[in-house]
Amino acid sequence: MLFGITWDTSNGDLAFALSILPILLRGMLVTIQATIAGFAIAMVLGLVFAVLKSVPLKIVSWPAIVITEFFRDTPLLVQLFFLYYVLADYNIILPAFATGALALGVQYSAYMAEVYRAGIEAVARGQREAARALDLSASRTFTHIILPQAVPRVVPALGNYLVSIMKDVPVLSVVTVLEMLGVARIIGDQTFNYLVPLSMVGGLYLIMTLVASALVRFVDAKLPKRGLPFK
């Protein structure tokens, strides 16, 4: 029994599968929530890092470069343990889910910073020159000229990371987040039937990633290629 739902182990695999489906769907909901939370953090933090890295002042850009390099070159699991166990020693105690979402967000922000940066650099130089000739401020140029043109270009690459984050969520089970794979393993441990729940996890993952990819393609198709419009 898990989440108050009991499973049926005596009427064959199909009945067993049907009985654990609601439990796995609970786990799937957590997986989706962690994906969305991690992706949202990574999108915002990634943009912040991309901006900091492009600041001409080395005192600003260097720390950003070092930090993102550290995030990219250390395993997600190390970052996760660090946030969960080490911070607790300093009385910073985060709930397991928040820790997991933060670890995902932080790790992927380092990747996404590079994507943003490529998108920002791909905006034609003439756009910056026109903005400068019109005397627009640096921040206005970034928010109203560069970014709206960069965003449509980076959506496909950012979308790939959405799928990657989704596939990394099972790592969070080591800090007791009850996402889908963790749930399936508990079911397996208790029923000695691993084949059915793990196969179902594989299938459900496939559906999730296909839906996520379709969503990204949909958003990509909807965004005007010339840039986000300004009223």
Whether the Cβ atoms of residue 24 and residue 203 lie closer than 8 Å to each other: no
Q: x/- contact string, 20-59, with other proteins (CB under 8 A)?
A: ----------------------------------------
Dist. CA 212–CA 202, nearest whole Å: 15
Say which residue the tokens 């969070």 belong to. 172
CB of 60 to other proteins, least distance (A): 16
φ and ψ at residue 6, rounded to 5 degrees: -95, 155
134 binds other proteins (CB under 8 A): yes
Tell which one of 129, 189, 202, 207 touches other proteins (CB under 8 A): 129
Q: Which amino acid, one-letter code, is at 47? A: L
Minimum distance from residue 226 beta carbon to other proteins (Å): 4
Q: How far is the CB of 143 from other proteins (least distance, A)?
A: 10
Q: Which of 94, 116, 128, 139 is nearest to 46 (CA)?
A: 116
Nearer to other proteins, 59 or 124 (CB): 124
Helices and strands counted in the chain (H then E): 10, 0
Using the rule CB under 8 A, is 132 a contact of other proteins? yes
Which position among 4, 10, 89, 230 is part of the footprint of other proteins (CB under 8 A)?
A: 230
For 53-84, give the DSSP string: HH-S-HHHHHHHHHHHHHHHHS-HHHHHHIII
* Cβ-based nearer residue to other proteins, 132 or 217: 132
Residue 155 one-letter amino acid: V
- Interface residue with other proteins, options 57, 59, 126, 192 (CB under 8 A): 126
Mask for 143-172, x = binds other proteins (CB under 8 A):
-xx--xx-----------------------
Cβ-based nearer residue to other proteins, 197 or 227:
227
3-class DSSP assignment, residue 5? strand
CA angle 66, 71, 75 (to 5 degrees): 140
Sole window of 52-60, 88-96, 126-134, 165-173 interacting with other proteins (rule: CB under 8 A): 126-134
Taking CB under 8 A as the criterion, the residue among 57, 133, 195, 221 binding other proteins is: 133
Distance CA(198)–CA(24), nearest Å, equals 10
Residue among 148 and 188 whose Cβ is closer to other proteins: 148
At residue 5, φ and ψ (nearest 5 deg) are: -110, 130
CB of 51 to other proteins, least distance (A): 18
Encoding tokens for residue 114?
A: 């590079």
Using CB under 8 A, list all residues that contact other proteins: 124, 126-127, 129-130, 132-137, 140, 144-145, 148-149, 224, 226-231
